[in-house]
Amino acid sequence: MTSEAGIPVVFVHGLWIQASSWAPWIELYRNAGYRPIAPGWPGDGETATETRAHPGRLAGVGLDEITAHYAGIIAGLDEPPIVIGHSVGGAVVQKLNGLASLRAAVVISPAPVRGVRALPLAQLRSSFPVLRNPGNTKRTVALTVEQFRYGFGNALSRSESDELYEAYAIPGPGRPIFEVATSNLRRRSPASVDTRTASRAPLLFVAAEHDHTVPAVVTRAAYRLYRDSPAVTELLELSGKAHSCVFDHGWADVAGRIEGWLERRVREAPSPQK
């Protein structure tokens, strides 16, 4: 299959991480016959350096704005894509799966949507840099190198965690964290998704054993929310992985296992209508 004929794949990054972190995935998926792209959030720069230089561009951006941004990109494609999201990007992908026609959706350590009740201490500590100040809902917040190591690089060597921080860490809007944290207190939360519908693409949840930012228990709780849906929902659990698993030294293992699931769920299934 040529790259021109391949199924589009849209990667959605998470909070605090530059879209360029998907570059190795793009090469792997292109070589596998897909047409991958990794657009940034509204306000992202082309590089981590540019985004760090203009953090105000992301201020106030929330889940609905990020979802609408990617929905517009999907609407411009010539066929329904596969969409793969990490962390807050995983919550966005679940929203997209109810709004747009997709071939499949994959959410890796997704930020909790409305209905997820698990709240481990590690997740609270990882969110504290934003939640400690209500004013952060209108601002961007940058992690320190130590906060990044706790939330993302806790299963890595100190040197690898610091290298990833330098390469990919960017300021992120505080608003999505507040929207997630208050989702169970609001009837019309931006973090709401229809978990019972049959009118959506196959959905794969990926949980990382040592994740501090979205602990595996949170991902498993989100997966269980879909138990009443007749559509395909599956769970993949990764041993020894942390929140950095999509862009650290073990990324190829994660990308390959997801590509294997896509081969099984998408290649042999009929294409949905755009």
Q: For 93-162, give the DSSP string.
A: HHHHHHHS--SEEEEESPPP-TT-----HHHHHHHHHHHT-GGGGGSEE---HHHHHHHT-TTS-HHHHH
Q: What is the DSSP letter of 251?
A: H
Q: What is the DSSP letter of 17?
A: B
Q: For 118-159, how does the pLDDT look when each residue is reduced to its tens digit (9 = 90+)?
A: 889 998 899 989 999 999 999 999 999 999 999 999 999 999
CB atoms within 10 A of CB 198: 7
Question: Which tokens go with 233?
Answer: 């929902």
Question: Which tokens go with 62?
Answer: 């929330």
Question: Which tokens go with 79?
Answer: 């066929």
Fold of the domain spanning 7-267: Rossmann fold (3.40.50)
Residue type, 10: V
Q: What is the DSSP letter of 195?
A: S
Point out the residues of the chain with pLDDT beneath 70: 1-4, 267-270, 273-274
The pLDDT value given to residue 186: 87
